[in-house]
Amino acid sequence: MPLDIRVIPCLSDNYAVLLHDPLTEATAVVDVPEPGPVMDALELEGWDLTHILVTHHHSDHVDGVLALKAQYGAIVVGPKAEAAGIPGIDVQVVDGDPVAVGSLIGRVMETPGHTAGHVVYVFAEERLLFAGDTLFVLGCGRPIECDPPVLWHSLQRLRTLPDDYALYCGHEYTVANGHFALSVDPDNGALRARVADAESARREGKPTIPALLGDERLTNPFLRADDPDMAERMGLAGADPAAVFTELRARKNVFKG
């Protein structure tokens, strides 16, 4: 029986994602920027929330956790390294831990960089990656609590997942990310097409997630820091990929296009 997924816009540019198992009626939400839109979606679908999966401790991912836990009695799962910053946490997870949502079995991958204890949730049978703020469509998170090479290492881990995985991330940044990507990779035809598609989707009020990981591998510059062509465009031919990634991230931080 196929699972059901709902993408829920929250705040100004956040997403929460509902994951529903029709076989057991278990339902999880990945991150809760605010409770209202999630509650509205649950009511619309007639689903009962059983799990809250938290990727990291930032307020725009956890501010709605306690309200949902109080309303539904959901189990709160989050990274052990950030447990002190995750309200209502019940289950503290580390790299490789299984996470069950009814009959759906995922696993935890630790992906430090944006925050020191950030995790993502991978559901291999369903080909799903819930990446929080580690990997965005055509971009990546800002390395706030770690040096950029730490985030680069985490992105390399995600890059090993199969091409047919669907990427769900925590923010709607795709158009802005795409404009930056074109500034460093202007001759990439696949990238130009993806940016055009994203712009069209946003004009229609549609989300740009999910995206296929295989498409990210071809068009996301932050997954290609070890590509010699990317290093050359950064003026860093022959440099360590971590240095190329650091330069890419520094340019993105100040990009105004």
pLDDT digit string (tens) for 177-221? 999 999 999 999 999 999 999 999 999 999 999 999 999 999 999
Per the confidence metrics, is the pTM higher than 0.95?
Answer: yes
Active-site residue flag, 58: yes
The active-site residue, picked from 60, 63, 118, 185, is: 60
pLDDT digit string (tens) for 128-173? 999 999 999 999 999 999 999 999 999 999 999 999 999 999 999 9
Active-site residue flag, 114: yes
pLDDT at 1 over 90: no
The DSSP secondary structure of the chain, one letter per residue, reads: ---EEEEEEETTTEEEEEEEETTTTEEEEE--S-HHHHHHHHHHHT----EEE-----HHHHTTHHHHHHHH-PEEEEEGGGGGGSTT--EEE-TT-EEEETTEEEEEEE--SSSTT-EEEEETTTTEEEEETTEETTEE---SSS-HHHHHHHHHHHHTS-TTPEEEESB--HHHHHHHHHHH-TT-HHHHHHHHHHHHHHHTT-----EEHHHHHHH-GGG-TT-HHHHHHTT-TT--HHHHHHHHHHHHHH---
Active-site residue flag, 240: no
Last residue of a domain, one of 60, 94, 128: 94
Based on the domain organization, do 86 and 121 belong to the same domain?
no
**Structural domain includes residue 5:** yes
**Structural domain includes residue 103:** no
Active-site residue flag, 133: yes
**Structural domain includes residue 167:** no
Based on the domain organization, do 50 and 86 belong to the same domain?
yes
The active-site residue, picked from 20, 51, 57, 58, is: 58
Active-site residue flag, 57: no
The domain in which residue 247 lies consists of 112-161+173-257
pLDDT digit string (tens) for 20-72? 999 999 999 999 999 999 999 999 999 999 999 999 999 999 999 999 999 99
The CATH number of residue 29's host domain is 3.60.15.10
